[in-house]
Amino acid sequence: MTIPDDARLRAYHFAASVTGAEILAKLVAAGDAPAPGVLRLVDSELERHADGFDRVWLRAFLCDLARARSKSSAKFLPRDTENMLGEVSMLEQASGHRVATYKAQRFARFGVHAMLDVCCGLGGDTRALVREFGAAAVFAIDRDAAAAFVTENATGCRSLVGDACTELRRAIVLARADGDTASTTRRLRIGTHIDPARRSEGKRRGASLEALEPGLEECLDAVLEVAHDGDVVAFKLAPGLDATEVLGHLHTRAGIESVELEWIAEPEGLVQAVLWISLRTAASLARVTRRATRILASMPESMPAGAGATVTFAMEPGACVQRRQDPNYEDIDQLAGRVLIEPDPVLERSGVLDAWLAEHAPTSRELWPGLGLYVDRDDGGGSGFAATRFRCRATRILAASPWRPKKVRALLDARRAQVREFRTRGRAVEFDEARAIASKASARDPDRDAVDLWGLRLGRRRIALLTESAVRSWS
């Protein structure tokens, strides 16, 4: 059923009332599938207090809010989940508290004094901005009046409803006026965080610039109309974006001093990319940087900058490092005794991997061009891998052979080993084929030592690697 915006907004106001809060608390306590008795109690409360609503729809709406609140503990701090309002679809698109805190602190390090959160949605980023800058210094903007209400209700910041570009221009003017009134001694810098909606491309939300609404160029035009030198814009993007498409046309755009495209990963994986843009009226040739950042662990409510909760690596402008490979792996037997390294995906996805390896692991070489696996002559301690704290995995190579079933079984038999896990890249070897080999070997002796089996393609050849199953993970 399509719900009119006014009915949805009124439903949020009801959910924020004393009666609505009590009903939501009962539904949250009842879990994902409330018992019939709980639903009858909810229906009775709605009949008495929810005049003017379709009560069947309102009950379903409140159940959705309750499910979202129950799920929100995986993304938000406990203080943000207790009375959270928002639908499941809004929660799924919201930034989690770790990445939101990290971005808020980056804005602070830019010297920003006031913030706009454009397309605020549920307010995942707004919460962190309010904790960093204070509610009076933050504007939440959304064309969805319900989203603006939810964010203002949760954070106490000011909210504006309407077209994103129109309202962000208005908010910058208001924030500048507030700053001029509060202080005549400092030059006010304003930060703008934009989280555009992404239209679907096929069955998935699009990662291209054309899929963004509002678009990058449209938002930049609006900001540049009213921006001052030193203002900062952060554009939240999908981690699967085409970096060349994003960075190419910004390099020579007037009014932009520097552009940085940052990929951010949490312990669970890549979560988002952020385009950081620093503005300066006289600039005509922007400095372009790429950055990979990993948030290492759960953050407390207040995470001091530089407290060790993140690790980051930036590739400076003009850096050009050739992808390296070992010049001679024709004899794959020489791989035995070396270490197989899987670099952190955020380093690879951000395009800074080669520069990072040149600095932190100069003795490593790529096993094969484009494979994304590297070999080193030690376990990384001597090359600096371990000290970097990116999430890289290293395992010692025990043996190698061409990928032929008899040879692979012979390797397993020779080491009295059974396969704990099968790994491959680019489906060089099908799982069923590897399982058939592994099951025959382990059936002969179930007490064998555990190893990992890799099936890889080096050019036209398929090879098998046996590696230790005890993975050393540096994070």
Tens-place pLDDT, residues 235-262: 999 888 888 877 776 877 888 888 999 9
Q: Which residues contact 146 (CB under 8 A, 6 or more apart)?
A: 5, 8, 9, 12
Predicted confidence (pLDDT) at residue 472 exceeds the cutoff of 70? no
Q: Which of 72, 101, 117 is the last residue of a domain?
A: 72
Indicate whether 124 belongs to any domain.
Answer: yes
Beta-strand pair 269-279/212-213: unpaired
Mean pLDDT of 5-20: 91
Least Cα distance to 32 among 63, 72, 76, 75 occurs for 63
Mean pLDDT of 304-324: 62
35 burial via Cβ count (<10 Å: 0-12, 13-18, 19+): exposed
Taking the CA of residue 328 as centre, how many other CA atoms within 13 Å lie in the half-sphere pointing to its CB?
2
The predicted-structure confidence for 184-228, as pLDDT tens digits, reads as follows 445 789 999 999 987 655 545 555 777 788 888 899 999 999 989
Least Cα distance to 326 among 281, 363, 285, 284 occurs for 363
- C-alpha 316, offset from chain centre: 22
Give yes or no: residues 193 and 295 share one domain: yes
Cis peptide before 362 (omega within 30 of 0): no
- The Cα–Cα gap between 25 and 39 comes to 13
Give yes or no: residues 368 and 424 share one domain: yes
Indicate whether 327 belongs to any domain.
Answer: no
Give yes or no: residues 226 and 268 share one domain: yes
- The Cα–Cα gap between 356 and 343 comes to 10
Inter-residue contact 190 to 170 (CB < 8 Å):
no
Centre a 10 Å sphere on the Cβ of residue 64 and count the other Cβ atoms it contains.
17
Inter-residue contact 380 to 357 (CB < 8 Å):
no
The predicted-structure confidence for 102-121, as pLDDT tens digits, reads as follows 999 999 999 999 999 999 99
- C-alpha 307, offset from chain centre: 20
Mean pLDDT of 21-41: 92
Indicate whether 191 belongs to any domain.
Answer: yes
pTM score: 0.86
Mean pLDDT of 53-80: 93
The predicted-structure confidence for 419-440, as pLDDT tens digits, reads as follows 888 999 888 889 888 888 877 6
- The Cα–Cα gap between 149 and 118 comes to 14
Centre a 10 Å sphere on the Cβ of residue 185 and count the other Cβ atoms it contains.
4
332: confidence class by pLDDT, cuts 50, 70, 90: confident
By mean pLDDT, which of 112-116, 149-153, 393-397, 466-470 is the weakest? 466-470
Indicate whether 237 belongs to any domain.
Answer: yes
Indicate whether 13 belongs to any domain.
Answer: yes
Is 456 in a helix, a strand, or coil?
strand
Give yes or no: residues 121 and 221 share one domain: yes
At residue 396, what is the residue type?
A: R
User: What's the structural domain count of the chain?
Assistant: 3
Indicate whether 320 belongs to any domain.
Answer: no
Residue 296: predicted pLDDT: 79
Give yes or no: residues 285 and 206 share one domain: yes
Residue 359: predicted pLDDT: 83
CATH number, domain of 409, equals 3.30.2130
Give yes or no: residues 196 and 62 share one domain: no
Q: Which of 252, 280, 315 is the last residue of a domain?
A: 315
- The Cα–Cα gap between 472 and 475 comes to 10
Indicate whether 291 belongs to any domain.
Answer: yes
Is 205 in a helix, a strand, or coil?
strand
Residue 85: predicted pLDDT: 95
Give the largest CA-CA distance in the chain. Answer: 82
238 burial via Cβ count (<10 Å: 0-12, 13-18, 19+): middle
Give yes or no: residues 106 and 222 share one domain: yes
Residue 319: predicted pLDDT: 57
Give yes or no: residues 131 and 221 share one domain: yes
- The Cα–Cα gap between 461 and 446 comes to 31
Centre a 10 Å sphere on the Cβ of residue 402 and count the other Cβ atoms it contains.
11
Q: What are phi and psi of 360, to 5 degrees?
A: -105, -20
Indicate whether 78 belongs to any domain.
Answer: no
Residue 305: predicted pLDDT: 44
Give yes or no: residues 51 and 138 share one domain: no
Q: What are phi and psi of 334, to 5 degrees?
A: -70, -10
Residue 102: predicted pLDDT: 93
Give yes or no: residues 238 and 98 share one domain: yes
Helices (H) and strands (E) in the chain, counts: 17, 21
Predicted confidence (pLDDT) at residue 136 exceeds the cutoff of 60? yes
Give yes or no: residues 378 and 457 share one domain: yes
N-terminal to C-terminal alpha carbon distance within the chain: 46
Question: In this structure, what token pair is assigned to residue 375?
Answer: 């070999």
What are the beta bridge partners of residue 279?
256
Tell me which of 305 and 24 has the higher pLDDT: 24
- The Cα–Cα gap between 313 and 325 comes to 22
Give yes or no: residues 303 and 220 share one domain: yes
368 burial via Cβ count (<10 Å: 0-12, 13-18, 19+): middle
| Structural domain that includes position 270 | 93-315
